[in-house]
Protein backbone atom coordinates (compact mmCIF):
# COMPACT_ATOMS: atom_id res chain seq x y z
CA UNK A 1 0.00 0.00 0.00
CA UNK A 2 1.21 3.54 -0.79
CA UNK A 3 1.25 5.55 2.47
CA UNK A 4 0.28 8.83 0.81
CA UNK A 5 -2.86 7.47 -0.85
CA UNK A 6 -6.11 9.15 0.24
CA UNK A 7 -7.56 6.78 2.83
CA UNK A 8 -11.03 6.71 1.28
CA UNK A 9 -9.74 5.20 -1.98
CA UNK A 10 -6.71 3.21 -0.79
CA UNK A 11 -8.45 -0.18 -0.85
CA UNK A 12 -9.97 0.37 -4.30
CA UNK A 13 -6.69 1.68 -5.75
CA UNK A 14 -4.73 -1.24 -4.39
CA UNK A 15 -7.23 -3.71 -5.84
CA UNK A 16 -6.95 -1.98 -9.21
CA UNK A 17 -3.15 -2.08 -9.06
CA UNK A 18 -3.22 -5.79 -8.24
CA UNK A 19 -5.42 -6.43 -11.28
CA UNK A 20 -3.17 -4.34 -13.51
CA UNK A 21 -0.07 -6.14 -12.27
CA UNK A 22 -1.74 -9.53 -12.68
CA UNK A 23 -2.60 -8.99 -16.34
CA UNK A 24 0.31 -6.86 -17.54
CA UNK A 25 3.03 -8.52 -15.49
CA UNK A 26 6.59 -8.17 -16.79
CA UNK A 27 5.56 -5.56 -19.40
CA UNK A 28 4.34 -3.15 -16.69
CA UNK A 29 6.62 -0.12 -16.30
CA UNK A 30 4.59 2.16 -14.02
CA UNK A 31 1.20 3.11 -12.59
CA UNK A 32 0.50 6.71 -11.62
CA UNK A 33 -2.45 8.17 -9.76
CA UNK A 34 -3.33 11.68 -10.95
CA UNK A 35 -6.35 13.98 -11.18
CA UNK A 36 -8.49 15.08 -8.25
CA UNK A 37 -6.99 12.53 -5.87
CA UNK A 38 -3.60 14.26 -6.06
CA UNK A 39 -4.56 17.81 -7.04
CA UNK A 40 -7.39 19.67 -5.33
CA UNK A 41 -8.93 16.74 -3.48
CA UNK A 42 -11.61 14.19 -4.37
CA UNK A 43 -15.13 15.55 -4.87
CA UNK A 44 -18.39 13.56 -4.64
CA UNK A 45 -18.36 12.55 -8.33
CA UNK A 46 -14.59 12.46 -8.90
CA UNK A 47 -13.15 9.50 -10.79
CA UNK A 48 -10.00 7.70 -9.70
CA UNK A 49 -7.59 8.45 -12.53
CA UNK A 50 -4.81 5.95 -13.25
CA UNK A 51 -2.14 6.17 -15.93
CA UNK A 52 -0.64 2.77 -16.75
CA UNK A 53 2.59 2.58 -18.73
CA UNK A 54 3.73 -0.65 -20.37
CA UNK A 55 6.73 -1.59 -22.50
CA UNK A 56 4.80 -3.45 -25.20
CA UNK A 57 1.27 -3.78 -26.54
CA UNK A 58 -0.87 -6.34 -24.69
CA UNK A 59 -2.51 -8.96 -26.87
CA UNK A 60 -6.27 -9.09 -27.39
CA UNK A 61 -6.87 -11.71 -24.71
CA UNK A 62 -5.04 -9.64 -22.10
CA UNK A 63 -6.83 -6.45 -23.17
CA UNK A 64 -10.27 -7.98 -22.69
CA UNK A 65 -9.44 -9.71 -19.40
CA UNK A 66 -7.89 -6.55 -17.96
CA UNK A 67 -10.87 -4.37 -18.86
CA UNK A 68 -13.40 -6.83 -17.43
CA UNK A 69 -11.50 -7.29 -14.17
CA UNK A 70 -11.09 -3.53 -13.71
CA UNK A 71 -14.84 -3.05 -14.13
CA UNK A 72 -15.32 -5.33 -11.10
CA UNK A 73 -13.64 -2.70 -8.89
CA UNK A 74 -15.33 0.33 -10.47
CA UNK A 75 -18.83 1.80 -10.29
CA UNK A 76 -20.70 4.64 -12.01
CA UNK A 77 -20.33 7.99 -10.20
CA UNK A 78 -22.55 8.19 -7.13
CA UNK A 79 -23.99 4.67 -7.56
CA UNK A 80 -21.94 2.77 -4.96
CA UNK A 81 -21.07 3.82 -1.42
CA UNK A 82 -17.69 2.07 -1.51
CA UNK A 83 -16.53 2.27 -5.12
CA UNK A 84 -15.77 5.28 -7.28
CA UNK A 85 -15.57 5.30 -11.05
CA UNK A 86 -12.18 4.25 -12.38
CA UNK A 87 -10.66 5.95 -15.40
CA UNK A 88 -7.65 3.92 -16.51
CA UNK A 89 -5.50 4.87 -19.48
CA UNK A 90 -2.82 2.49 -20.79
CA UNK A 91 0.09 3.75 -22.90
CA UNK A 92 3.23 2.19 -24.36
CA UNK A 93 6.35 4.01 -23.16
CA UNK A 94 8.10 4.05 -26.54
CA UNK A 95 5.03 5.73 -28.12
CA UNK A 96 5.22 8.79 -25.88
CA UNK A 97 8.98 8.99 -25.25
CA UNK A 98 10.47 10.69 -27.18
CA UNK A 99 7.44 12.98 -27.19
CA UNK A 100 5.40 13.28 -30.35
CA UNK A 101 2.02 14.85 -31.07
CA UNK A 102 -0.60 13.60 -31.06
CA UNK A 103 0.25 10.88 -28.54
CA UNK A 104 -1.26 7.39 -28.68
CA UNK A 105 -3.02 5.28 -26.10
CA UNK A 106 -3.39 1.52 -26.07
CA UNK A 107 -6.47 1.14 -23.90
CA UNK A 108 -8.91 3.21 -21.91
CA UNK A 109 -11.41 2.17 -19.28
CA UNK A 110 -14.17 4.45 -18.02
CA UNK A 111 -17.70 3.99 -16.79
CA UNK A 112 -19.04 5.54 -20.00
CA UNK A 113 -17.56 2.50 -21.77
CA UNK A 114 -19.00 -0.13 -19.40
CA UNK A 115 -21.76 -1.35 -21.72
CA UNK A 116 -19.40 -1.69 -24.68
CA UNK A 117 -16.74 -3.49 -22.64
CA UNK A 118 -19.27 -5.97 -21.20
CA UNK A 119 -20.44 -6.67 -24.75
CA UNK A 120 -16.84 -7.39 -25.79
CA UNK A 121 -16.32 -4.16 -27.72
CA UNK A 122 -12.90 -2.91 -26.63
CA UNK A 123 -11.60 0.25 -28.29
CA UNK A 124 -8.47 -0.27 -30.41
CA UNK A 125 -5.22 1.60 -29.84
CA UNK A 126 -5.57 5.14 -31.18
CA UNK A 127 -4.25 8.68 -31.20
CA UNK A 128 -5.59 10.66 -28.25
CA UNK A 129 -4.93 14.39 -28.06
CA UNK A 130 -6.27 14.48 -24.50
CA UNK A 131 -3.27 12.41 -23.43
CA UNK A 132 -1.32 15.64 -23.77
CA UNK A 133 -3.18 17.10 -20.78
CA UNK A 134 -3.15 13.80 -18.91
CA UNK A 135 0.63 13.48 -19.13
CA UNK A 136 1.06 17.08 -17.99
CA UNK A 137 -1.13 16.35 -14.96
CA UNK A 138 0.78 13.17 -14.17
CA UNK A 139 4.16 14.95 -14.39
CA UNK A 140 2.98 17.84 -12.23
CA UNK A 141 0.93 16.11 -9.54
CA UNK A 142 1.07 12.36 -10.21
CA UNK A 143 1.71 9.84 -7.45
CA UNK A 144 3.79 6.80 -8.41
CA UNK A 145 2.02 3.63 -7.26
CA UNK A 146 4.32 1.34 -9.24
CA UNK A 147 7.60 2.38 -10.87
CA UNK A 148 9.42 5.73 -10.98
CA UNK A 149 7.92 9.21 -10.63
CA UNK A 150 6.16 10.51 -13.75
CA UNK A 151 8.43 13.56 -13.90
CA UNK A 152 11.39 11.21 -14.24
CA UNK A 153 9.72 9.04 -16.91
CA UNK A 154 8.08 11.50 -19.28
CA UNK A 155 9.35 14.54 -21.14
CA UNK A 156 7.73 17.98 -20.70
CA UNK A 157 4.95 18.69 -23.17
CA UNK A 158 5.81 21.57 -25.54
CA UNK A 159 3.66 24.65 -25.00
CA UNK A 160 2.58 24.58 -28.65
CA UNK A 161 1.03 21.11 -28.25
CA UNK A 162 -0.70 22.13 -25.01
CA UNK A 163 -2.47 24.96 -26.84
CA UNK A 164 -3.36 22.69 -29.77
CA UNK A 165 -5.41 20.55 -27.41
CA UNK A 166 -7.05 23.57 -25.80
CA UNK A 167 -8.08 24.92 -29.19
CA UNK A 168 -9.59 21.62 -30.36
CA UNK A 169 -11.82 20.80 -27.37
CA UNK A 170 -14.50 23.55 -27.58
CA UNK A 171 -15.31 22.55 -31.16
CA UNK A 172 -16.93 19.42 -29.73
CA UNK A 173 -19.73 21.44 -28.09
CA UNK A 174 -21.50 23.72 -30.56
CA UNK A 175 -25.19 22.79 -30.15
CA UNK A 176 -27.46 21.65 -27.27
CA UNK A 177 -27.42 17.97 -28.19
CA UNK A 178 -23.65 18.03 -27.67
CA UNK A 179 -23.97 18.86 -23.96
CA UNK A 180 -27.47 17.89 -22.78
CA UNK A 181 -27.12 15.26 -20.06
CA UNK A 182 -23.51 16.17 -19.34
CA UNK A 183 -23.81 19.89 -18.61
CA UNK A 184 -21.80 19.84 -15.40
CA UNK A 185 -18.72 18.17 -16.83
CA UNK A 186 -18.70 20.12 -20.08
CA UNK A 187 -19.21 23.54 -18.52
CA UNK A 188 -16.47 22.87 -15.98
CA UNK A 189 -14.19 21.66 -18.76
CA UNK A 190 -14.73 24.93 -20.61
CA UNK A 191 -13.85 26.81 -17.41
CA UNK A 192 -10.62 24.82 -17.17
CA UNK A 193 -9.76 25.48 -20.82
CA UNK A 194 -10.38 29.21 -20.34
CA UNK A 195 -8.21 29.21 -17.22
CA UNK A 196 -5.41 27.30 -18.96
CA UNK A 197 -5.35 29.62 -21.98
CA UNK A 198 -5.06 32.65 -19.72
CA UNK A 199 -2.55 31.22 -17.23
CA UNK A 200 -0.69 28.41 -19.03
CA UNK A 201 -1.50 26.08 -16.12
CA UNK A 202 -3.97 23.28 -15.35
CA UNK A 203 -6.31 23.70 -12.37
CA UNK A 204 -8.91 21.49 -10.65
CA UNK A 205 -12.42 22.03 -12.00
CA UNK A 206 -13.78 23.90 -9.00
CA UNK A 207 -10.70 26.14 -8.86
CA UNK A 208 -11.05 27.04 -12.54
CA UNK A 209 -14.77 27.74 -12.05
CA UNK A 210 -14.06 30.06 -9.09
CA UNK A 211 -11.47 31.88 -11.18
CA UNK A 212 -13.89 32.29 -14.08
CA UNK A 213 -16.78 33.45 -11.87
CA UNK A 214 -14.77 36.56 -11.08
CA UNK A 215 -14.41 37.36 -14.79
CA UNK A 216 -17.76 36.43 -16.32
CA UNK A 217 -20.50 38.94 -17.13
CA UNK A 218 -23.13 38.92 -14.39
CA UNK A 219 -25.72 37.15 -16.57
CA UNK A 220 -23.61 33.99 -16.83
CA UNK A 221 -22.46 33.71 -13.23
CA UNK A 222 -25.57 32.02 -11.70
CA UNK A 223 -25.42 28.95 -13.97
CA UNK A 224 -21.67 28.46 -13.52
CA UNK A 225 -22.09 28.89 -9.76
CA UNK A 226 -24.79 26.20 -9.80
CA UNK A 227 -22.56 23.89 -11.83
CA UNK A 228 -19.70 24.37 -9.37
CA UNK A 229 -22.01 23.70 -6.42
CA UNK A 230 -23.28 20.51 -8.09
CA UNK A 231 -19.70 19.36 -8.66
CA UNK A 232 -19.01 19.87 -4.96
CA UNK A 233 -22.17 17.96 -4.00
CA UNK A 234 -23.83 21.06 -2.55
CA UNK A 235 -26.89 21.14 -4.80
CA UNK A 236 -28.85 18.89 -7.15
CA UNK A 237 -26.91 17.77 -10.22
CA UNK A 238 -29.73 18.45 -12.67
CA UNK A 239 -29.97 21.15 -15.33
CA UNK A 240 -33.21 20.17 -17.08
CA UNK A 241 -34.79 23.53 -16.23
CA UNK A 242 -31.70 25.58 -17.11
CA UNK A 243 -31.49 24.96 -20.85
CA UNK A 244 -31.45 28.61 -21.95
CA UNK A 245 -28.88 29.60 -19.33
CA UNK A 246 -26.62 26.66 -20.19
CA UNK A 247 -26.80 27.37 -23.92
CA UNK A 248 -26.08 31.06 -23.37
CA UNK A 249 -23.03 30.22 -21.24
CA UNK A 250 -21.78 27.68 -23.77
CA UNK A 251 -22.04 30.07 -26.71
CA UNK A 252 -20.47 32.95 -24.81
CA UNK A 253 -17.61 30.76 -23.54
CA UNK A 254 -16.87 29.22 -26.93
CA UNK A 255 -16.65 32.67 -28.53
CA UNK A 256 -14.49 34.04 -25.72
CA UNK A 257 -12.11 31.05 -25.87
CA UNK A 258 -11.84 31.31 -29.66
CA UNK A 259 -11.03 35.01 -29.34
CA UNK A 260 -8.35 34.37 -26.72
CA UNK A 261 -6.75 31.70 -28.90
CA UNK A 262 -6.79 33.99 -31.93
CA UNK A 263 -5.12 36.73 -29.90
CA UNK A 264 -2.51 34.30 -28.66
CA UNK A 265 -1.70 33.12 -32.19
CA UNK A 266 -1.48 36.71 -33.42
CA UNK A 267 0.87 37.65 -30.60
CA UNK A 268 2.96 34.51 -31.16
CA UNK A 269 3.20 35.13 -34.94
CA UNK A 270 4.08 38.81 -34.49
CA UNK A 271 7.12 37.85 -32.40
CA UNK A 272 8.51 35.53 -35.05
Q: Which residues are catalytic?
A: 87
Determine contact, residues 104/127, Cβ cutoff 8 Å. yes
CA separation for the pair 232, 237 (Å, rounded): 10
CA distance 164 to 112: 25
First CA to last CA across the chain, in angstroms? Answer: 51
Give the span between the Cα atoms of 104 and 113, in whole angstroms: 18
How far is residue 29 CA from its own chain's centroid?
A: 21
Q: C-alpha 246: how far from its chain's center?
A: 22
**Residue 216: left (phi > 0), alpha (psi -120 to 50), or beta?**
beta
Q: Closest by alpha carbon to 71, among 54, 55, 84, 56?
A: 84
Amino acid sequence: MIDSLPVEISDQVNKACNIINKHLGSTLAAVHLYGSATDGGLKPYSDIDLLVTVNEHPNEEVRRALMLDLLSVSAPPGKDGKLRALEVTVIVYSEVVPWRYPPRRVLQLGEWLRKDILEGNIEPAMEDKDLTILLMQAREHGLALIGPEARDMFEPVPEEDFYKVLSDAPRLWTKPEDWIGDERNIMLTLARIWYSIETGRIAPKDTAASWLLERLPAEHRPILHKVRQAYLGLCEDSFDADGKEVESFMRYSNKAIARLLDERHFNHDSKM
